[in-house]
Chain A
Amino acid sequence: MFSRSRNKKSSSTVNSDMLSKQRRYDSLVRALHADIFRYAYWLCGDKHVAEDITQETFLRAWRSLESLKDDKAAKAWLITILRRENARRFERKQFNYSDVEQEHLEDVFSSSSEDQAEQHLIRRQIAKLELEYREPLLLQIIGGFSGEEIAGILDLNRNTVMTRLFRARNQLKDVIEQPQARGQSNG
């Protein structure tokens, strides 16, 4: 009973802490959910799974929001959580999604015009890229990270990252710039 007045005081600071944490989280979600969802999608190749992973990622982020000191690092931090969540998914399921699903990447973004047809083709090719080439490319193009930063996130050295980026673009350039040949061989 004697601690009630003290409790009241500390609970009001707790509330304001909660409020600022909530505000921080809100802005984090609004600013980064699209990038995180897209990254998840390109990791797993399935819209619904991507949504699940995104949910898990943000929930985990909420729980340890205090550990994010620098807001500029938020994206890299979220991507690190996301990659861990994705890895966890493989531990649970005991089989490799990327082998199964990327070949049959679902055609959720249907193509009507020629432009969209091309985009569909590019998407298929990106999905076919080996994950180790796809990930640095995602980080560079969606994430906007430098080679150095990508190396940090993927825990590789910078030269390896640059080589993988080189190979990724090289492969994509080949197939995209000869859509005819590619289309035929694909049937």
Chain B
Amino acid sequence: MDELKFRRQAYGEPNCQDEDFLTAMHDSPERESFLNDLKKLDSKLERALKVDVPEDLSAKLLLNQQLHQHQAQRRKSGFTLALVASVAFIAGISFTLLRMGPVDLGEHALAHVYHEAMALKVDDNVGFDEVNFQLASMGTLGNAKFTKQPGKVYYSTDCDFQGVKSLHLVMQGEQGKVTLFIVPLEDRMVLDEAFADNNYIGKGFATDKAYMLLVGEDTADLGYVKEEIKQTFI
């Protein structure tokens, strides 16, 4: 190792432990003392570079991190809350929209008859005034009413069946009982002229104020009640 290379190395890295460098140093006492001077300089530099560190710096660093951590968690939980809220919101909206969907009145009428089977058994002998009162209190049928008693009425109640408001009447037909639903006119309703299942047959028609749905066991009964309604319901 020549003198220039040795000096460059000594200045660049006085604590170098390369064998070449160490051998070169041991070659001459001048080099050794030269290197010792540099090492002394280095230890002075090291002391000078080691400026005082603020005493509580590490505590501050940890505190700062903890604070940020805390904030991040709060942001995260805020996000979760927002997520839950929007899911609930979407659920609410879609539930409402589902209820707004089209309603098949025939299906609805049959389901309702099965749902309130007891309606066919009771005999309240309801007067047409009382029926008119219930019609009026539904509030969605305008001033629709019966002008006189439409034959015998066994049962009358207003009900909300899966979102469809209607008046539920059980009337006397020619032979058997006929269930009549009076449903306010609404766009989402789909009216079937005739419908049936294994036990019942049904007829549907619209007046200018409401849909009328008749459910019974015999066609003749249905025709009979239909005529009666047409004469008494305005």
In the bound complex, what is the Cα–Cα distance between A170 and B37 (angstroms)? Answer: 12
Q: Give residues of chain A (155-172) contacting chain B, Cβ–Cβ below 8 Å.
A: 162-163, 165-166, 169-170, 172
Q: Does B26 contact A (CB under 8 A)?
A: no
Q: Does B38 contact A (CB under 8 A)?
A: yes
Shortest distance between the CB of B19 and any CB in chain A (Å): 16
In the bound complex, what is the Cα–Cα distance between A176 and B47 (angstroms)? Answer: 14
Given A37-B53, A169-B11, the answer on whether A55 and B64 have CB atoms closer than 8 Å is yes
Chain B contributes a number of interface residues (CB within 8 A of A) equal to 30
The answer to whether A33 and B61 have CB atoms under 8 Å apart is yes
Q: Does B49 contact A (CB under 8 A)?
A: yes
The answer to whether A38 and B49 have CB atoms under 8 Å apart is yes
The answer to whether A142 and B49 have CB atoms under 8 Å apart is yes
Main secondary structure of the interface of A (DSSP, over half): helix
The answer to whether B57 and A119 have CB atoms under 8 Å apart is no
Closest to A115 in B: B47
Q: How many A-B residue pairs have CB under 8 A?
A: 95
The answer to whether A26 and B48 have CB atoms under 8 Å apart is no
The answer to whether A140 and B13 have CB atoms under 8 Å apart is yes
Q: Does A44 contact B (CB under 8 A)?
A: no
In the bound complex, what is the Cα–Cα distance between A58 and B66 (angstroms)? Answer: 12
Sorted nearest first, the 6 A-B pairs with minimum C-beta distance are A122-B48, A166-B11, A162-B12, A165-B12, A34-B53, A169-B11
Chain B residues packing against A (C-beta within 8 Å): 8-9, 11-14, 37-38, 41-42, 44-54, 57-58, 60-62, 64-65, 68-69
List 15 extra interface pairs beyond A30-B58, A137-B45, CB under 8 A.
Answer: A33-B58, A38-B50, A38-B51, A42-B49, A51-B54, A54-B61, A109-B52, A118-B44, A123-B51, A126-B48, A141-B46, A142-B49, A142-B50, A166-B8, A166-B11
Chain A residues packing against B (C-beta within 8 Å): 25-26, 29-30, 33-34, 37-38, 41-42, 47, 51, 54-55, 58-59, 62, 109, 118-119, 122-123, 126, 137-138, 140-142, 146-147, 162-163, 165-166, 169-170, 172-173, 176-177
